Chain A
Amino acid sequence: MTFRIGPRTSQIIFYVILLTMTAIVVIVLFFIIFYVLRNGVDQLTLEFLSDKTREMGKEGGILPSILGTLFITVVATVIATPLGVGSAVYLVEYTRAGPIRRIISFGADCLAGVPSIIFGLFGFIFFVISMNLGWSILSGGLTLAVMILPTIIRTSEEAIKSVPHTYREISYSLGGGKLDTILRVVIPTALPGILTGVILGIGRAVGETAAVIFTAGSSLGLPTSIFSSTRTLAVHFYILAREGISMPKAYGTAAVLIIIILAINFIAYRLMHRFIARYY
């Protein structure tokens, strides 16, 4: 007698396999977050968040790094978002599907896969040295902007492409020009998708180490202008852990970084849901 698996059994087996895979992913993810938070939670005091860093990070808090991370991310986002969305609109609305668009998209995909340390090196040579911006928030922000551009372009491009052609046709048929159509119909419709790209970009920028260590430096002073050198949270964590300065402070920094990233994602998704609820 041969052993056969009935269709119902194979359904169940397949379901269990998929469930296990998902469970592994979720468990690993939560374990990392839990582990970092558990090790860093003792450090999370108001003083740690609001104090200057002393003795290279062995003592004091991480306020300079929080501000440095914030400023660099803001610079990167403010520069990369309009450039990225603008390019995506141009690619979809003003060029025809064909080899040129494919080459640009392919280029953006490749750029998205380039290791961040390469961007760091480029930023160092171009922004820090050639443009004489020095190690600064501006250099770091510009470098990160270049780094997150491909993500923003590609996600915006997909979002804009998925706006139904009929919406554009309706707008034209009501006497709208191309610009009206793009500004009043295409971009608002694509906004949730575009925002997803921007959030992914911000997430990448906040947590970036290699690209900023070369371009923003690792100074521990409170930043006073966009030309100040600064040390982001990720860099601070790296230096604390790598040079064995203070593991507790390193975990404290990592915990703050993770909480910031979770908060950004949470707020962004709330905003997006509110937006979708209002328009769709």
Chain B
Amino acid sequence: MSKISIKRLSLYYDSCQALKDISLDVESGEILAVIGPANSGKSSLLRALNRLYEIDRASIEGDIRLDNESIFRLPINVLRRRIGIIFATPVVLPGSIRKNISYGPRLHRKLSKSDVDELVERALKSANLWDEVKERLAESASFLSGGQQQRLCIARTLAMRPEVIMMDEPCSGLDPISTAKIEATMLELKKEYTFILVTNNTKQAARVSDRTAFFYLGELIEIGSTQRLFTSPVDRRTDDYIRGKFG
């Protein structure tokens, strides 16, 4: 059984259709890369999966199932705890590193100080940030570098113990070293989590993902094992895109 199963999904912002009749499955424990040029609906797909589109006042058709249960039946806070998202631009909340990480878990249950200590340490270690910040957990998170902030955002999502982690171009503003650190983190975390990685960087998709989906103008053009898709794409548009002939 697939972790996430999307059936005939369409998403509209007012009259503009951002996703057109998408059906795809995400398997448990895989990294699924979603690639495609701007305006292809990649981000909309992520925003549909944790129902973040609702705050954009978009509307949706079709069904999305998480462990074979419709996400529209789940309480919204439970859904968003189970499917975490990391945005392109790291946004740290005002307040300390510690407070950033405990923000999510505290929304869902009461935590003692030692619970928080443990949770913060575990999340930061998983995100490969612990060694860099362990001395200054009480300091404001806004003093961290861009790459550190992005790993803090990952830690913040991990602290929720999600099942699926969606990343929306997580390395777009980062230098190669920070990017490498985040990719290494993803590969380590793959054992426990399912990833959906939206990326503009086809090389990144090739490096880390198991399967890749190519979106174009709101349509799913092609999906398959990353190796297959990058070596012998079926659709000509996929071929053009991964060769960089697009646009």
Contacts and interface: CB of A to CB of B under 8 A. Distances in A.
Interface stretch (B25-33, B88-96, B207-215): B88-96
Nearest to B92: A170
B103 interface: yes
B94 A166 contact: no
Interface stretch (B2-10, B79-87, B124-132, B173-181): B79-87
A186 to B, nearest CB: 11
Contact of B103 (A174, A278, A279): A174
Contacts of A168: 55
Interface in B43-85: 50, 52, 55, 76-81, 84-85
Task: Please report whether the interface of chain B is mostly helix, strand, loop or mixed according to DSSP.
Answer: helix
A188 B85 CA distance: 23
Interface string A264-275: 000000000000
Interface string A161-186: 00010111111111111001000110
B107 A180 contact: yes
B216 to A, nearest CB: 26
A189 interface: yes
A92 to B, nearest CB: 15
A94 interface: no
A174 B107 contact: yes
Nearest to A181: B107
A165 to B, nearest CB: 9
Contact of B77 (A164, A167, A177, A184): A177
Nearest to A177: B77
A173 B93 contact: no
A280 interface: yes
A180 B106 CA distance: 10
B107 A175 contact: yes
B224 interface: no
B80 A173 contact: yes
Contacts of A180: 107
Interface of A: 164, 166-177, 180, 184-185, 188-189, 278-280
Interface of B: 50, 52, 55, 76-81, 84-85, 87, 89, 91, 93-95, 103-104, 107-108, 140, 142, 156-157, 160
